[in-house]
Amino acid sequence: MLAEDKLIEILAAEGVDFTVSLPCDRIKRLIAMVPRKFFHVPLTREEEGVGICAGASLAGKRPAMFIQNSGVGNMINALLSLTGFYSLPLAIFASHRGLYKEKIAAQKPMGEKLPGILRGAGIGFTQVEKIKDLALIPGRLERVYRGNKIHAFLLSPALWEAAGADKNAWRPVFDFGRRPKAVMPRGARGAHGKAKPRLTRYEILSAVWPALESKAVVCNLGFPARELYQIGHRPSNFYMLGSMGMATPIGLGVALATKKEVVVIDGDGSLLMNPGTLATAACLSPENLTVFAVDNGAYGSTGNQPTLAARCIDLEEAARGLGFRYTVKAAGKRDLLRSLEMKEGANAPSAHSALSGPLFIHALALPGNNLPGDGQAPVIPLDRLEIKRQFMEFLSP
């Protein structure tokens, strides 16, 4: 049995049921095999994969990631401030470039330093250099999922040199077909390009709060999460306490792993950090996902410095360009509520079904943190593990 087949067998035996990946030439056969056995998400960036896997694990899945080791550098903060911070499980299978028969000089610095980086970050790892080393994986995978740990398996290219391996025996399976034409949700046609901000972010969240009941809500970090908690806490709210740029990836992971309606309350600054996730969401097209992007043109939690959305970027047009079929721009209370109702079917393209894909709502807001009273939203008084526990209980069948 080839190493790839043995590894797939181990993953299935350990209950892995949710996978994400970015390509590496050394593990191309393995990555081609993964989608044939497991639910799979092709990524645009490793960091978004951390968020997607976090969302899936909140919904009870056992996620595994397949990447090149250089990608660890793109996701180390998210691993520490999201996956590790909330005690979520993640198995990382990294093609360990830069050492064994490496011909590309640029691969060597990261390959040589990766073990030290992982030790410094407190992330456990196992170096898998020979087929016999695969026997180490089951026990360590069990500890990942039972103990809510992060563990990296560093896969040497030497693994894939077994006699009889056909280097051409792989076929990519990522075929999404032709990109569908964008569809304007009924009732939203007049809003495109004409809406102007009227409400602050706090006023917007207050206006839509009743419509969020019974939905799984992933809320962006900083003032948005604190404001949502102040307006009204629900166990169905997952408040981000760190990891800027991860709100939509987390929400996407939840939506892919549950049938519940999922609303992501994201911001312009956060979305611009990981715009590729919108493309991932558009291609995977979960019908139960709404990205509610509150755009006040500012980094509200760090002093209201302007974002590029205040100067030259229309987030709704960006979402449409990245593949979202259903988008709407809204500003006033009535339009905001009508936008959220589109997922219920009343304003869907046909009278017989809700939207057949995710919805992107571009909620225009006035800049600033104009809260009532002293203008300060108190820190959320819930421990991170309590936030996680309540949210997971809400998601459980």
Q: What is the mean pLDDT of residues 208-234?
A: 95
Give the pTM. 0.91
Band (370; pLDDT cuts 50, 70, 90): low
Is the confidence at residue 168, as pLDDT, over 70?
no
pLDDT for the residue numbered 192: 46
Band (373; pLDDT cuts 50, 70, 90): low
Report the distance separating Cα 314 and Cα 362, nearest Å: 9
Q: Where in the chain is the domain with CATH 3.40.50.970?
A: 3-161, 189-395
Structure-derived torsion over alpha carbons of residues 209, 47, 276, 324, reported in degrees to the nearest 10: -40
User: Contact, 264 vs 291, CB < 8 A?
Assistant: yes
pLDDT for the residue numbered 191: 43
Does the 3-161 domain belong in CATH 2.40.160.20?
no
**CATH topology classification for 189-395:** Rossmann fold (3.40.50)
- Token reading at 379: 């820190």
E-state strands within 48-105: 63-68, 90-95
pLDDT for the residue numbered 193: 52
Residue type, 268: D
CA distances from 325 to 205, 356, 361 (A): 25, 9, 12
User: Contact, 285 vs 358, CB < 8 A?
Assistant: yes
Q: Which of 39-48, 52-61, 264-273, 362-371 has the lowest mean pLDDT?
A: 362-371
Q: Mean pLDDT for the chain?
A: 87
Residues 23-56: tens digit of each pLDDT: 998 999 999 999 999 999 999 999 999 999 999 9
Band (301; pLDDT cuts 50, 70, 90): low
Which of the listed ranges 94-108, 141-155, 179-193, 309-323 does the model predict with the highest average pLDDT? 141-155
